[in-house]
Amino acid sequence: MSHSATLALQSVLQTPTDSNRLRIFSGSANLPLANEVARYLGMDLGPMIRKQFADGEMYIQVQESIRGCDVYLIQPSCRPVNDHLMELLIMVDACRRASARQITAVIPYYGYARADRKTAGRESITAKLAANLVTKAGANRVLAMDLHSAQIQGYFDIPCDHVYGSPVIIDYLLSKNLEDIVVVSPDVGGVARARAFAKKLDDAPLAIIDKRRQAHNVAEVMNVIGEVHGKTAILVDDMIDTAGTLQEGARLLKKEGAKAVYACATHPVFSGPAVERLSSGLFEEVIVTNTIPVPHDRQFKELTVLTVANLLGETIWRIHEESSVSSMFR
């Protein structure tokens, strides 16, 4: 080998390549959020061909070399859940076959999470099934936000980084300088989430709504545990689906003397009558994040959508640099 060739090879070997290995791609579920994340990282989204055949089958092709790269695929499994989940699996498979060094599935909203255990005979645990699919497709790790229950992290047989949208919502609430705040959990299962939320909200007091569910998406509210009279109640949940729980909770809080009710959630699923219930005059404001895109016809005047792009972008960078993620939330 010539002297010049040897020097060229040494130069290549000594050049740090880690900063050049990062690639961000997005599925079709939430392109605006993915673009914001890419801007935070000072990058553009990677080019990708995405199309459907006449029978609905999906075709995906990555349009640049990702050999040896750390690839992050941003795709919430929101409505239509099956299509977006399948799209994520195909993206992962395409990147694996393109010899990506590491593939991280960034799932801002993890669908099928509500069936996380068996509550009756002959039920499927779809939270585990979806985790198996992502893993078998070839993902090396998962980045998820506000999973429906913490134990879902253990359903993945690969590393799972779990981050929270609450810091974004809490910063917004603190900027409003609300007085006489009480944080309210809409059910007993959400007490841990509400307690952590209240602690970061200047150690606000906590109240709990005792709720007994008769069927899926049907909630019956019974009573309030805690003092809410004359206070500004902040209902905290991980997602808003049909908003039946929050509507009944807000009615009860008003009946118990709360002077104002705010609803906060990370994921605006907004199914069925959700918009009608949330815009019925019971809430001063409904605060959500953009983990799921809210179509124009599902927006209303009480709605505030906060972005989690910077939080996701910072998390991606820390994972890529192999630094602490948990320190972001201390």
Indicate which residues carry an active-site annotation: 211
Q: 283, 273, 281: which is closest to 237 by C-alpha?
A: 283
Q: Are the C-beta atoms of 209 and 215 separated by less than 8 Å?
A: no
The answer for 73, left when phi > 0, alpha when psi is -120 to 50, beta otherwise, is: beta
Q: How far apart, in whole angstroms, are the C-alpha atoms of residue 318 and residue 160? A: 14
Helix/strand/coil for 100:
coil
**Cβ neighbourhood burial of 67 (10 Å; 0-12, 13-18, 19+):** exposed
> ∠ at Cα 134 (132, 140), nearest 5°?
105
Q: Are the C-beta atoms of 49 and 27 separated by less than 8 Å?
A: no
Q: 172, 112, 119, 171: which is closest to 144 by C-alpha?
A: 112
